[in-house]
Amino acid sequence: MREQSLGVRLTVAATGAVALLIPAALVAVLVVGNVAWLHRLDTAVTDGLHGYALGHPGWVWFMKAWSLVFAPNSWRLAAFVLCVWLVRRGAAPLAWWVAITMTAGGVLGAVLKLLVGRHRPDLLDPVARATGYAFPSGHVVNNALGAGVFLLVLLPSTRGRPMRRVMLWAGAIVIPLVTAVSRVALGVHWTSDVVAAWFLGVAVVAATAAAYLARRPSHVASEGLQE
């Protein structure tokens, strides 16, 4: 029964990784090809949110604070703390999985930025500024990576604790979503930047989780990855 459950989870993880990479790659192709309808969509969303931001300084303050709290380095620090905690619990292989997942996803996102070379929105009266290329959003990639990592590591510990389980799932969904909105609302990313970044981040988590399940079939919980 355990072997059957593991096989199902491994299949789901591997299939999910491929399924998530496809839309991320498709958006990248559309961006590189400078497809007109995507450009119009990106511009319309950015102009709408920027117009709202100009008249609502409190909204801008919240979006800036959110982006700062859930910045890539915040997730990297949190992942480091998680790795230390796992090592102290005797789960060093899982700690390595966390480190590899965060590193691989971050590096992949940075490489794609250089390869695509997309410029950020150039607004007449910006409410925020950011350096570097736009595609994909580094904030959203790292939020998706971090949320996925913490979800898979901590999910087994919520068994029999429905409130904790709901909070864990809610955090894993809401935090990356609000971060994506904040980057577009601040005018430092296009909508397609954050959509592709989310797909990419979750795809990396699914791919490395599949690899972990395949290599350590006798050391994983019935859900998540915590040993």
How high is the pLDDT of residue 73? 95
Which band of pLDDT confidence, cut at 50, 70 and 90, is reported for residue 223? low
- Decide which of 3.30.70, 3.30.310, 1.20.144, 2.20.28 is the CATH code for 2-215: 1.20.144
- Domain positions in the chain: 2-215
Q: What would the DSSP string read from start to end of 155-206?
A: GGGGTT-HHHHHHHHHHHHHHHHHHHHHHHHTTSS-HHHHHHHHHHHHHHHH
How high is the pLDDT of residue 5? 53
* DSSP 8-state class, residue 217: T
H helix runs in 33-119, sequence order: 36-54, 57-69, 72-88, 92-116
Could you report the per-residue pLDDT of 90-140, keeping only the tens digit for each? 889 899 999 999 999 999 999 999 999 999 998 888 888 889 999 999 999
% of the chain surpassing 90 pLDDT: 64
Model confidence, pTM: 0.88
Could you report the per-residue pLDDT of 128-177, keeping only the tens digit for each? 888 999 999 999 999 999 999 999 999 888 887 888 889 999 999 999 99
% of the chain surpassing 70 pLDDT: 88
CB atoms within 10 A of CB 77: 11
How high is the pLDDT of residue 213? 79
CB atoms within 10 A of CB 99: 17
Q: How many CA atoms lie within 13 A of 190 on its CB side?
A: 23
Could you report the per-residue pLDDT of 47-85, keeping only the tens digit for each? 999 999 999 999 999 999 999 999 999 999 999 999 999
Mean pLDDT across the chain: 88
Residue 45 tokens, joined: 């969303």
The CA R_g of the chain, rounded to the nearest whole Å, is 19
Q: Assess contact for 220 and 213: CB atoms under 8 A.
A: yes
Which band of pLDDT confidence, cut at 50, 70 and 90, is reported for residue 222? low
